Structures are given as structure tokens and as C-alpha cells.
Structure 1
Amino acid sequence: MIETTIYTIPHHESEKVEFKTSFQDEVIVSLVAFANAKGGAVYVGVDDKGVAKGVSIGKETVQKWLNEIKVKTQPALVPEVDIWEHQGQQVVLFSVAVYPIKPVSFKGKYYKRVSNANHPMSVAEVAQMHLRTVNSSWDYFWRNGLTTADISLDKVKKVFDMVRRRNSNIPIDTSEQFLKKQELVHGKQISNACYLLFCKEDTYHTTIQMGHFASETVIKDDVTISTDIVTEVEEVMNFVRKHINKEIIITDQLENTERWQYPLEGIRELVVNMIVHRDYMSGGHSTIKIFPDSIVLFNPGPLPDHITVENLLSDDYVSSPRNLQIAKIFKEIGLIERYGTGIKRVRQLFLNHGLPEPLFKMVQDGFFVRVLTSPISGSDRVTDKVTGKVTGKVTDNQQKILTAITKDIYITTAILADMVGISQRKIKDNIQTLKEKGLLERIGPAKGGYWKVL
């Protein structure tokens, strides 16, 4: 549908905005990426600084562009089109909503919108996005080349017994019936979840690498496990307990009180989340690193496209397990209490333990969590310290950047741009100025490092 309306041009490109000076294949790529993410709009006739340069439009031009978009996309995209004049220059606005059947491709290639850029999707990402669309998941599919001979019936019985202890009225009597009831087997075929839950032999698909570090570069102990994912929960917890501190608090009671360095229930929740939501189609491994002052967990597989870290922290999201069958079994044996409450519980457990909330962020193609062993200075005290130190030395925008960094040392320039209300390029310019003034330092690489206010 073509309409003539008056719009304003956003200040900068974002998760839902793209600027193009002319109509070209990159316009269609952006529309595909928006359709595969949260929807968005492409402003044709606008440069990357948000300045209207105009575009020449003939009688049939826009209709030809629409036909080209439909021909080059699958399923065919039909965006909304608006044409208007901005400061004497003609601008064409193409907009699309989230597409109901995903992913959408451009000439057989798939893209998704991440921050203010279009990213090519991997085969695994394409498969996961399609499975979510049809309300299924990879772990429900049958495992090629493996049969019930490749799983341990002792492990099946152990899990079945755990389910029966929680629900004595379950209307099945044997482990074999349990496997069929849960759709884990069909004849001799086994699902991907069945293999990961009950594998007879170690498998690289479930590998978790764990290390105890004296410093960022000196490792004191390392263990790699590749067993079934139910057993892995306790093996990871055993490694954590081995390498974190425990204090004995002497009281006037008959028994003294034990207090661990971290809330073990919170750590267990993070470990369970890591195992349940892992992208098992990825070639990467999950990792856990224990440092003197923190524990870092990394898991292959990003958050679902409709959920951001900000959604997690504000509890503004609907749970969307990557592996539905695994999540279902973990819930039935009591490792998951209720879908969508894990992160909220973890944050509260750490606060109740007198520790800061864990730090969550997306890194590359995975999810990163860092928990700290001692409280960080309260944000108000940190902000006061920063304000007192830099008053008169920095602009208002630079002050906003420093304040935001004190609250999240892993914050990205894209998020800073949205918070401050300026372009990402200007954020980078301001950060460089703060570095030159000796007020800010980047610790580590661009990906995986963090900010330090000096």
C-alpha cells in the first residue's frame, strides 16, 4: 500500500531504523533482517547521518521497487510504503512488521537485525528460528544414526524415579513407558533430547569446560565433562563447591552455621539455565571459569530475538526455552520450578546473600554471566564519586556516558547511543575524549572486555 504522509527522520540508525541514499539490494536485505527480528523501517533518500538527500521517483518507480522486493524474498515480503517531502527532498519509507513465518530470505540468504546492523544467519540460527515459528524445537527431532541401544536404561530409571518421587500419581509403571509418554522414543528411534539426557557414553555435544584460575592467565585446576546433561548439573556444582570458599559462623546454637562465598541455589539456577537453554547445534562448548573474585559462565546460543538483556532485567518477557523437551523433563524432576522465573530468582538470591546482582550480556553468539564475590559500591556512591571528579571537565553527554558505565561496566556503545540520544559514532567520539582526559579506560578487547571509570 502506497501512502503520502508527513514523517520526521530519526536521529540515527537503530535496531528498527536504516538509512539508504538510494534503492538497492541492501534495502531489501534490511527489510528481510527487520522481518526476521522485531520489524523496522528503511528510509530511502537519507544518508547515514540522517540527512535527507532525496531520491528521484517516476510514475512507476515505487511499484517496480515493490515488485523487486517480492521477487527477491521468500516468503515474499510486501512492505508498507510512504512517500513524503522533507526539506525539499523526496523520501520513501519502506516498513515491515515481524513476519509470522520465519525466517525470510533474500536470494536464498538469511539475515537478522542486531543493534543497528544486518547480520547473516548461520544454518543453526535459521533452523532454530524456523522451529520456534512452528512451536517446536531441535531436541524433539529424531537423532539420526542412534537408537535406544545408545542410551543408558539405568539413567532413564534414575530420572523416572525422580519424577515419581515428585508425582506419585503418575499413571505409568516402567522406564520404557516413561520414554514413550514423554515422546523421547519411537520404536528404537530416540530424540535429540533423549540422547542428551541419557547417553550411555560421553559425547562432545554436551561438553562443559571448567577452570579454576588464580588470575586471568594462571589456571590452577581444569576439568572437562561430556556426560548426560542431568548428571552434569551435579558435576558442575561439585566443581564450584570445591573451588569457592566456605566460612563457619559460630553461634550459640548446638550447630554452627555454614556460609558459602556465593548462594549455591543461585549458582545452581544459573547452571540449569545454561544446560537447558544451550544451543546444542553449535560447535562451541559451555564454559565456567572461577576466579578469586568472580565466576564467569558462557553458553553457546544467543537470547531469542524477541528477548533482550533489558527485558530479562525488567522481568518484561515471556519464557521461550530453546530446548522444549529438555526443559519439560527438567521441570518434571524439579530442576526448573517455573518457566520464566529463573533470572528473577537468581538476582534476588544474590541480593539476599549480600552480593551484587549478576551481570548478564550477549557476547558474539552466546550468553555471558558474571557473578561477583563482594558488593560493588552502590550506584549512588559511584555516581557521586564520578560527578565530583569530572564536574567542569566534561559535557552533559559525557557525564551521562560515565554515569551509565558505572552502573554497567559491560554496556555497549549501541545501548549508550539509545540512552544518551545521540548516534553511535558520536558515542565513540565522546568515549575517545574521555579516554584522552584520563577519565575512562577499556580493559580487554572490544568483545569480551569491560569499561573502567578512572
Structure 2
Amino acid sequence: MDLKASVEGQTHDIKSIRLVSGKSADWKELACTCVCFANSRGGQILLGIEDGESSPPEGQRISDALLERISKRVGELTIHVNAFPEKVCCENGAEYVRLNISRSQNVASTTDGRFFIRVSDQCMPITGDNVLRLAEERPGWAWELVDSQLGKKHIDPLVLKRLVTSFRHSERVRPSVKEKSDAELLEHYSLVIGRNLTNLGALLVGSTNTRRSLGVAPIVQALKFDDAGNKVNKWAWDDHTQSPIELVEAIWGAIPDFKESYEVSEGLYRKSVPAYDEKVVRELLINALVHRPYTQKGDIYINLRPGSLEIVNPGTLPLGVTTRNILNASRRRNEELARVFHDLELMEREGSGYDLVYDLLLSRGRPIPELKVGQDRVSVTIRRLVPNPGVMRLMQDADARHQLTQRERITLGVLAQSDGLIAGELVERLETDQGSLSSWLGRLLELELVETRGRTKGTRYLVSPELLRDSGMTGATSLKHIEPHRLAALVREDVGRYPDSRIGEIHERIGSEIPRSQLRKCLKNLVDAGDLVMIGERAGSRYRAGDT
């Protein structure tokens, strides 16, 4: 294995050798990590590489006794986990342990009754009712690969011909796979098992009656509403004549609202911008078709309202994925179906679908999608708004000049649609954590596209004023980003004129757009410095100049 490519992620983790040796050995942590891989797709843990390093330290040696101890302790501390340690020699002559964990056919746990699952590069604990969901949803039991008990005579030859032709023309399919016969391609993509079709095969290449017999083939309904909430039009794909692959094209082509556009001012010219971006709509439709639980019945709804498009999918988000981590979490519910869509160039690589949606929407001056999770459904809403020409110009100019990464574009787009965000607010908008914020900011600070004000947790990030001015987004002058020393001078002058004022009265006079938390901190600093005197406590506090 190439250690440089072995970054921590869905199927790989890197740990120090101290985890399994010496007095600081933490066998329980290793057991938890093994359980989370076993409950997901399996994976590998590289033991013997320190944080920030790409190879083990020179001179490091791994004894056979350590390999035996790792195998023994993992077996003692886990249930339904198969872990196989092996010694690997690196290019620098040093050795490390590669611990291979197989995907378990049963729900794995630690011996003290704890359950975990791997989501992106983290091990997520599973508790309560989610343990039952783990048993139902985990990749060890794949609905796609179950024998449908339907023979190959149920294959629709025209559908099969279109599918294999698409595989052979796709740039994502390896040449060695393209050379396979039609029958071999069916086996390669898990569409057949022996003489029968798998459930996935019945769904993708079966006849209309074959799909109907599954009982869970997707049904899609598109409903259009007027301003009063009355239904004015309806489209339905409920006859099972099309596979999920064909449904995407059929839906996009049938709904006229998807072809509408706006004209926005672009200097002396006017530019036509689609009401709904085709890539965004297709990505959301594919997410609904690929990531829905096919063990659960329920229609997919496309609700078209005057100001928005909502896609409602039956089922909940995959276990471990939430509305707070959807940009960073990565977990497929239907792995083989996702592989087919990916190889046909219909969807992005794993974990980047929502990244693409955020990127496209923010780059066009639109708000990010609104994701809601109910007990038995997930809905995604995108707004049909006239794009902000200034944000569009800003994003296009910045990207053309600096070839921004996707994360940099998303971060810049979030900041461009705000008056600046403090670190905690930006972390929340990006659905990440404080430690990962630098990877989202990327080169934005270095390229002077984004500026900072303040320090530590109070650091505020905002788009460079020059960039805003060049994009025609100057707007009205605001005190929201007033510097601390200027705010202090303003407060001292106000309290000098109006002694015994409450914080609300001061706030209203000097500028209500100033964050109240910032004003409260300023007042405290002035009281501590003796410039102001506080009379009373809490809500009844009043302020006067310190020399009176």
C-alpha cells in the first residue's frame, strides 16, 4: 500500500505504535476502532505511524509477539470482529503493522456492549434505538445483492443493451472492464447471482413487470402549487416502465419549470440564468434514488412552489449522517447502486454530492439548500430566487483568477452572502468543527480574498472590501464590523452625554446593527478600566462616566 495515499477516511485509519505497546497501550480504543470498521465496509488500521508523518520512524521494528498480542487482545475485547495483523516493511526500512478488518456478517460490538460505525474519518457511537437501525441498514446485509428468484429471462434486452453501451462509453470504467462480455458485465456490477437476477439487477435491467414485482421500485410524483397552496399540475412516474437510471432523464425532460430562466443585469448586458440549475436538480434527484432505503415503501415527491423546489424522499438519512455533518460525513446506503451511477458518470464520487450542490448554489448567488429530517422522510429545499449578480461576479472573478478549490468556493460563497461571520458561526454554516476550519478556508486568507477581525474565538471572517467593491457589492456603510477601539470611543461619548443609561438604550443610540454581545464586552472592558461605572446588577444595570 502507498502510505502517501493512505489518509484517514472511510476505510483507513492511522495510529501510533504506542496504542498497542508500552504502559500507555489503549486496547479498548483499538477495539472500538475495529468494531466501527467491521460494522461498515471493513478497512485497515496502520499502526506505527505518528501524527503528521507519512512513514514509520527509521529503525522501528515489529516483533511477531506483538502481532500475536494484537490478534489476541482484539479477539478478547470484541464480538463478531475478524482482524488480521501483518508486518509491513516501508521504503525507509522501518516496519509497521497493517491491521486488516473484514466487514462482519453480523452486528459487531465490544465485549462490554458498545456499538460503533465508521462515518467518513470518525468512529460514531451507536446507542438506543439506533442499534436496531444498525442491524437493519448496515452494509453487511445488502438488499441489492439478495437473489430475486427471477431468472435471466426476465431481463429486458433493450434496457440491457443501453446499459452495457453506456458502461463501454464511460470514461470512469476501466478498459479491462469494458472488454468484458455482456454476461460478465452483469456479474461485475452484481446484477446477477448464478442463474437469477439480484434485486439490483431486477431494478436496473428487468422488465416492467419484474420491477413491479419487487414492490419497492421507486415511484415519483411531481406536484405544482400556486401562491395559495392549491395544486395546479401533476406528473407521475408510477408505471415502473423506467429504471432509476432512466427516471432521472425522464423527470428532467418532463417538467417545464426546470427550463425556465431569469435575466439578470451584467453591466451593459443582461445574462440569462436558469431558475433551477440542471446539475443541482439532477444531483438531488440522483441522491433521492440512490440513497433511499429500498427495504421501505414510499413515493418520492417533487413539490414545485412559486418560490422553491422541494424533494421529499422516504426514509431517514443513513445512520451516522445528520443535517449537521452532511457536508463532511460519507456513508452509502446502497453501495452497488451508487457504484453503477458513479461509473455511468451520473453522480459524483462518494461524499461529494452535497458539496457539489452547495458549490453550484453559492457560486450563483443563491442560498444553501434547506435539509429537514422527519421520522420517516428527508426533504431538501432549494430556493427559486433571482441570483445576486454581485455574488455571481465575485465568485466568477475570484475563481477565474485563482482557480479555487471546491471548499474554498463554498467558504467564500457563504461569507459573500453575509456581513461577515465569527469563527463559531462559520463553523456552523460549514457543518464542520473548529479544527477543520483551516482546510475550508484554504488559501482565501493568503490570497487576500477574505480578511479577519479580532482574535481567538471572536475572530470574524469577511470578504475583502476591495473584492466587494470590484464586484459592485459595496452596499450601505454599517457599524456591524466596527473596530473595538472605535466602539469604545463611541460608547464613552454616548454615556457622557446620557449618564445612567441601560445597555439597550446605548445600543439603540449608537447603532442597533452592532452585535449586542460585542457591545456588552465593550462595556465590561470600559468598567474594568475605570472609564465607566456600572450601577445596579443584571438587567437593571446602568452606566455613567467613571469620573462623575
Place the TM-score, normalised by the shorter chain, in its bin: 0.5 to 0.7
Q: 1:303 to 1:211 in 2, by over 3 A?
A: same
SS in 1 for 2:224: strand
Per-residue CA deviations over 1:372-416 (Å, capped at 9, x if unaligned) read 1126995559999xxxxxx959xxxxxxxxx9xxxxxxxxxxxxx
Letter of the 1:199 partner, please give it. G
Q: Which residue of 2 aligns with 1:370?
A: 381
Q: State the Cα distance separating 1:366 from its structure 2 match.
A: 2.4
Q: State the Cα distance separating 1:248 from its structure 2 match.
A: 6.2
Aligned mates of 1:121, 1:365 — CA distance in 2: 17
Q: Which residue of 2 aligns with 1:219?
A: 231
Listed as ranges, the matches of 1:48-447 within 5 Å are 79=112, 97-99=114-116, 113=127, 118-119=128-129, 126-129=135-138, 132=139, 134=140, 137-144=142-149, 146-167=150-171, 169=175, 170-201=177-208, 203=212, 205-215=217-227, 217-225=229-237, 226=240, 227-242=242-257, 245-247=260-262, 258-313=272-327, 315=328, 317=329, 319-374=330-385, 380=419
Letter of the 1:282 partner, please give it. Q
User: What is the TM-score normalised by the length of structure 1?
Assistant: 0.53
Q: State the Cα distance separating 1:239 from its structure 2 match.
A: 3.5
Letter of the 2:167 partner, please give it. V
Q: State the Cα distance separating 1:279 from its structure 2 match.
A: 0.8
Letter of the 1:185 partner, please give it. V
Q: 1:156 to 1:356 in 2, by over 3 A?
A: same
Per-residue CA deviations over 1:244-295 (Å, capped at 9, x if unaligned) read 622467999xxx9642102111111111111110111112111111111001
Aligned mates of 1:307, 1:367 — CA distance in 2: 12
SS in 2 for 1:237: helix
Q: Which residue of 2 aligns with 1:410?
A: none
Q: 1:119 to 1:100 in 2, by over 3 A?
A: closer
Specify the structure having the higher radius of gyration (Cα): 2
Aligned mates of 1:196, 1:207 — CA distance in 2: 12
Aligned mates of 1:251, 1:343 — CA distance in 2: 28
Aligned mates of 1:249, 1:356 — CA distance in 2: 17
Per-residue CA deviations over 1:330-382 (Å, capped at 9, x if unaligned) read 11110123111110110010111221011112111222101011269955599
SS in 1 for 2:252: helix
Aligned mates of 2:377, 2:292 — CA distance in 1: 9
Residue identity over aligned pairs, in percent, reads: 22
The number of aligned residues is 279
Q: In structure 1, list runs of 5 or more residues that go unmatched.
A: 1-34, 37-73, 80-95, 102-111, 385-390, 394-402, 404-454
Of 173-182 and 332-341, deviating more is 173-182
Is the Cα contact below 8 Å between 1:361 and 1:368 reproduced in 2? yes
Structure showing greater relative contact order (alpha-carbon pairs closer than 8 Å, 6 or more residues apart): 1
Aligned mates of 2:353, 2:296 — CA distance in 1: 23
Q: In structure 2, list runs of 5 or more residues that go unmatched.
A: 1-34, 37-106, 119-125, 389-415, 426-477, 479-502, 506-514, 516-548
Is the Cα contact below 8 Å between 1:262 and 1:350 reproduced in 2? no
Aligned mates of 1:153, 1:211 — CA distance in 2: 33
Q: Which residue of 2 aligns with 1:429?
A: none
Aligned mates of 2:231, 2:199 — CA distance in 1: 34
Q: State the Cα distance separating 1:173 from its structure 2 match.
A: 4.8
Per-residue CA deviations over 1:90-147 (Å, capped at 9, x if unaligned) read xxxxxx642579xxxxxxxxxx75xxxx54887x864213xx2x3x522122114x22
Q: 1:268 to 1:279 in 2, by over 3 A?
A: same
Aligned mates of 1:291, 1:259 — CA distance in 2: 19
Per-residue CA deviations over 1:186-221 (Å, capped at 9, x if unaligned) read 233111111111231163521111111114631121
Is the Cα contact below 8 Å between 1:212 and 1:243 reproduced in 2? no
Aligned mates of 1:206, 1:151 — CA distance in 2: 18
SS in 2 for 1:311: coil
Is the Cα contact below 8 Å between 1:263 and 1:353 reproduced in 2? no
Letter of the 2:137 partner, please give it. Q
Aligned mates of 1:159, 1:76 — CA distance in 2: 40
SS in 1 for 2:326: helix
Aligned mates of 1:323, 1:231 — CA distance in 2: 18
